[in-house]
Structure 1
């Protein structure tokens, strides 16, 4: 049997033992995992050797039952079960997808402390599981690793409602602008950290990419938030836009319809099947660059039905792209 399947089976065995309040028999475990009793015995021995606190007990007339001592983590006073703790330890493989953010160092320290609560053999066993569970990091800001000090100041400003002045590289103007802002919230999305702040000069909440903040200083002046920023700050966008949502309908060709159908692209999405194998996806989202680039990523297999203005914009984009390719 492939090594990966063995690791996954043993992980399921740990879960089955911890979920059983009164213990589990070898035959019961074999039935639950659909393997032989010999395999269960071998896995129990392997887990015991790895340091997991497994023990067996027999009632006066009943069969031998196996249990998992969930109180092994006495050094972690959180109420975590062993299964929950192991899942948290394994999640480091997923959290590495936010590597190179200002939180990378703190995450490393936290997981180093968690590792100390595991025996060397338990760590060796758990370290095999990331081989069957992986995560790919998406694009991220190239300067994010240098933003730790900026993030710390912005967190302080957000928590204590302190006004801040900052120098910001504006993409629209191509230069550096100075802002007085009331920081409301920091959000991590699509590989970057964003500041949502009220700008008194604009009387509006604006979104700033932290990696484009050249400098920030906190003022003695405090503020009272006047605008509400929800928990899901980019709920209306496929990207990082806070604008209003509007209906869009996109028709996908039969060749890509199964791929579109298999995903939830937005919480508002609705699907409509066409008789010719096409698929129409309707969503209520911001008509921003994130939406346009997502539609364009499907190439000739997508077509905007409504609104007409968005269809015209994309038609112009495609024509301009075609002309660039024609230049050779």
Structure 2
């Protein structure tokens, strides 16, 4: 009890400080206060859901449902983030591509907020890929280790190929899907654009003989702008494109496949970003003005 009481007091203090800072920042027109409040809330939600994920992963593994670990934690993160930050992502999937299993899901990578995007769209029986160093992060790393995350050592091509080889086996034997950000890093773009794609996701899909499902997130620099220390409420649109079959393709087809998928995603990114502007998603600051101009090009 001597340890538990201070811990509960700290958690309660954090919870109470978040709305206070948000209200003060709004009333006083100080974006930095709301930025600090929502960043604190996001970190709190991440630790809370990762802790839940450790327990959920153990229980689900014992019951033979380990493939659902990341899905159940994703949904928990979606709702806790909505309650504490007022930010969410709305998913449009007219072709029901998210139900494809197994598949390689790919998406554009803008910022740390993409973790919430995964919380809102993540399909059942799917795992993320992540850099290997994350497995050593308390709570988050423990959860990722227990929930079939595909860890990639970017410094070693040999280890990266081995990780993808294991992923191919898992996808074939357990029908487990994988989500990858093919840009490989966060873009922090203030306009709808993509960084050059890496080939790993496309090699994986061809080797496993599974479809690629592109997930396109509207530019949300008007909601989160890390460099300008702005973090606003908003509902960010996400468009899921029809699946792209890879059966019959070989390694030499990767380049053409990559270019075609990236071209389709770039076109959809401009379209869905315009939808975000028209929807009035956190239309504040210079980032959105820049986004409007870029979308019109």
Q: TM-score, normalised by structure 2?
A: 0.25
Higher relative contact order (CA 8 A, sep 6+): 2
Q: TM-score, normalised by structure 1?
A: 0.23
Which protein shows a greater Rg? 1
